[in-house]
Amino acid sequence: MTPRPESSGSRPKGTAGEKIPEQPTAAQQKSAAKKTAVPKQAAAKKAAPAKATAKKAAAGRTTVGKTVAKKTATKAAAQQTAVGRPAAEKAAAKKTAVKKTAVKKTAARKATTVKATAAKSAAAKGAAAKTGATKAAPAKSTAAEATAKKSTAKKTATTKSPAEKATAAKTPAAKTPAKKTAAKKTAVKTPAAKATAAKTPAAKTPAKKTAVKKTAVKKAPAREAPAGKAAAAQVVPPEMEVAVSPAVGAVDRERLLGGTHHAPHSVLGAHPVPGGVAFRAFRPYARSLTVVAGELRAELHDDGEGFFSGLLPLRDVPEYRLIVEYEGTVLETEDAYRFLPTLGDLDLHLIGEGRHEELWTALGAHPMTHEGVTGTRFAVWAPNARGVRVAGTFNFWDGTGHVMRSLGSSGVWELFLPGIGEGELYKFEITRPDGSRTMRADPLARRTEVPPATSSVITSSQYEWGDAEWLARRAEAPAHETPFSVYEIHLPSWRPGLTYRQLAEQLPGYVKNLGFTHVELMPVAEHPFGGSWGYQVTGFYAPTARLGTPDDFRFLVDKLHQAGIGVLMDWVPAHFPRDDWALAEFDGRPLYEHGDPLRAAHPDWGTLEFDFGRNEVRNFLVANALYWCEEFHIDGLRVDAVASMLYLDYSREPGQWTPNEHGGRENLDAVAFLQEMNATVYRRVPGVVTIAEESTAWDGVTRATHHEGPSGFGGLGFGLKWNMGWMHDTLQYMSHEPVHRKYHHHEMTFSMVYAYSENYVLPISHDEVVHGKGSLVSKMPGDWWQQRAGIRSYLGFMWAHPGKQLLFMGQEFAQGAEWSETHGPDWWLLDPGYGAEPDHRGVRDLVRDLNTVYRATPSLWRLDTDPAGFEWIVGDAADDNVLAFLRLDREGVPVLAVSNFAPVTRQDYRLGVPEDVPAWHEAVNTDAARYGGSDVTNPDPVKPEPQPWHGRPASIRLTLPPLATVWLRPA
């Protein structure tokens, strides 16, 4: 009986008192160091008849490939146990019947001289001819043969290990006298073994020996030969002599075809196995596949359904390439399944901990050189997926053959595809837990297709920055202690049709001319619906492709910096849309969103809220904040919808939310996320500022995260906060007819009650000039002249008030219509051919002058967050609609700001002032003729009089223009 591998069944039975050798293990089959030993013959067996007939035991390698298919009906594809095969496949191998092989007579010389009858010799030959792969068929029954079957030598030959068989095939047979009890050993040869044995001379053994000598196997160098072709004179090392089928097993085939394989690299590629190196490839639609390694060219066997395999008699896995023939084309390529993972243990550990601050360098698609080969590394986090494949333009959007591997318990799937480079489109094909499939854009794609197309694009940056001077200077002082005047822009509609690079030719000059210190870009991250203005993001790591490439966007930022203009960007970590190709239930279950539907659904916008308590999700967002600051040199992030993140009951009715662990309504996970984001950004990127759009009275929005407040929380750590209360109150006041304003006077003064509780920005943003709210100028009552006068006086008051300023595009020239993203600002209002052009240009000229004086006057910005920088002169003149206050710098140098919100001129209006200022002169008067006003001014220096007023030892008398704000500073 030919010995069976350990997985094929129980060991053969022996007679009483007989020692049955243990079956060889896989390790023994592979080991070149272990020599095969023939068990000693038992003493009790010496009495066996001398005329024992020895059977021929074949020991050779099973040749794999096309030649094997021609020469033998044996097919061990599913029967042999390969390295790393599943247990289920081993079980299948046990049950597979091995076909008997008809062994042809060879011309090999006889191994031993047998003193037996012609009938016995014929029987022995018949037994050898009928021997199968796993069991030798008995010859015709004779008494002598029955005795021989019971002999020790017979049992020894039957229970040889596979390695022993191979040795025996190459070892000269021992000739034993007829009277000796030791039986002859003959080998039943497979076709390959026959070819080898034919050239091996027989050797004689002394007659008195009772055991077969162990002979050393002579090693011969392996010859390069096509897979499936037998090399007649080749001698392979002992550890490679028991061949296994290289074909992919049934279970693995099913999982690979179904897109549910977690470890395709353990099956596909090249793997050392007993008998050589098994090559397996999965190339759907390929007609043939050839392995090329140096001078070796071996065509693999077509196993069907896109699978190819072959077993080559090699000691080690070589460097190789694949030649793949498709209908009409042949390509030579690297095998994607021969590479080690491109992500290390540290990356995976940091991802799992939620602390990978450069997550964009680990996940996503990255062109790179890996193990000396250029290609693209794909990696995606999808812990609930049963399998992930990459589909794209490089495989005609069929990801069947590009199966990703799961990297342990990290939930990360990875695949390096050689030969794939920039510009290729791709998505991830994810098999959900229920077996269905979904095609998803890359959450960390750094470039996307132009909407409405949704594919991700492989990209890498080649941009060389020219803003080193700006970056070195921006960290000299914190934002709340510097001039900070912001022009808010929606890039796609500022000048519709312009690209990033075209905007770079116009925008920096326009903003610099108006004197703004910064621009704030409404969300630049990719979004599918233009009507969301970018506030429903699907591509958190990709600038919108509507205007160009990521490097084009870098060019715009660079040009703004070179013009001395900082760049802020709206950032949206609160929620994301439900598009079925983006983040929603990304891998078939809630992943980026909260698992509780009540917590996940945003009640206002029909979107999904992020699960801020999950490490990987928090990491995704924190790294995203850093990404924009580090990769695009963004100077600040204005964080959208912070209030909706902070409160569990935001826009929810009772019963629609669950209290936190303390019974409160605060979202503790969101608080922790915002604190981590701010602390990380400020630590890693000097000079950057974060700004919160937070509309409630949450304590400590701009307080340091390690400083605990009355509420028991540390601060959120923002640098600045939008003062939504100021914006709402003052616009409400300005919308009243002047005759009624005295009843709403407190709306202009209330902001000073809390002005120093946070570091504030005073925003007149896009939110106030859309959705039926009208433009800023249209909020003003009265006729056209009064409306323009009203907006000028309001802007003068705003720029003088403690806090930073933000003005949305179009409002700088008193656009009369609401803003629309479809056409942007009404630039035609500034056309010299338009009759009312001077009215609009006058307002824009005022904005320029306000910025110019503001930036040159530290009293208006140095102590924005310090109560020492503000003093009321008169705040209770409600009947007059007059407000007057001082702004001071650290040295006490004052600026006097006076606003008259009544449509009448007030002559000799007395105001108390500091006595140490010898004279005052106008720095700004919003009623000047060049701005379109009535030109009621105070052209000469105004000297104080020793008459106390408003609690001051001195006072001045001014002419207050109608609906105007006047700034005066020491002459």
Residues with active-site annotation? 640, 693
- Reference 568, options 670, 640, 645; nearest CA is 640
Structure-block tokens of residue 496: 């519709």
- d(CA 193, CA 339) in angstroms, rounded, equals 35
Structure-block tokens of residue 822: 């479809």
Coil, helix or strand for 59?
Answer: coil
- d(CA 161, CA 3) in angstroms, rounded, equals 6
- Reference 266, options 126, 393, 131, 405; nearest CA is 405
Coil, helix or strand for 137?
Answer: coil
How many CB atoms within 10 Å of residue 761?
30
Matching residue, tokens 């390509």? 331
Q: How far is CA 669 from the centre of its chain?
A: 22
Q: Are 779 and 814 in contact (CB under 8 A)?
A: no
- d(CA 88, CA 75) in angstroms, rounded, equals 19
Question: Does 832 sit behind a cis peptide bond, omega within 30 degrees of 0 on the bond before it?
Answer: no
Q: Tell me how many helices (H) and strands (E) the chain has.
A: 23, 37
- Reference 627, options 672, 545, 571; nearest CA is 571
What backbone torsions phi and psi does residue 882 show, to the nearest 5 degrees?
Answer: -120, 140
Q: Are 457 and 450 in contact (CB under 8 A)?
A: no
- DSSP code, position 90: H
Q: What angle do CA 408, 317, 280 make, to 5 degrees?
A: 70
Q: Which of 5-8's residues contact partners 24+ apart within 8 Å by CB, and which partners?
A: 5/80, 5/81, 5/162, 5/242, 7/81, 7/90, 7/93, 7/94, 8/79, 8/93, 8/94, 8/134
Structure-block tokens of residue 880: 């007059």
- d(CA 805, CA 762) in angstroms, rounded, equals 5
Structure-block tokens of residue 200: 């091996």
- d(CA 791, CA 805) in angstroms, rounded, equals 15
Q: What is the DSSP string of 194-231?
A: HHHHTTSPP----TT--SPPP-PPPP-PPPP--TT---
Using alpha carbons, list the distances in angstroms from residue 958 to 194, 750, 940: 120, 25, 11
Q: What is the DSSP string of 674-714?
A: HHHHHHHHHHHSTT-EEEE---S--TTTTS-TTSB-TTSPB
- d(CA 885, CA 956) in angstroms, rounded, equals 14
Structure-block tokens of residue 139: 């010859």
Q: Are 557 and 633 in contact (CB under 8 A)?
A: yes
- d(CA 804, CA 798) in angstroms, rounded, equals 9
Q: What share of the chain is helix, strand, coil (3-state, %, to 5)?
A: 30, 20, 50
- DSSP code, position 582: T
Calculate helix-pair angle for 615-631, 668-684, nearest 10 degrees: 30
Q: Are 532 and 578 in contact (CB under 8 A)?
A: no
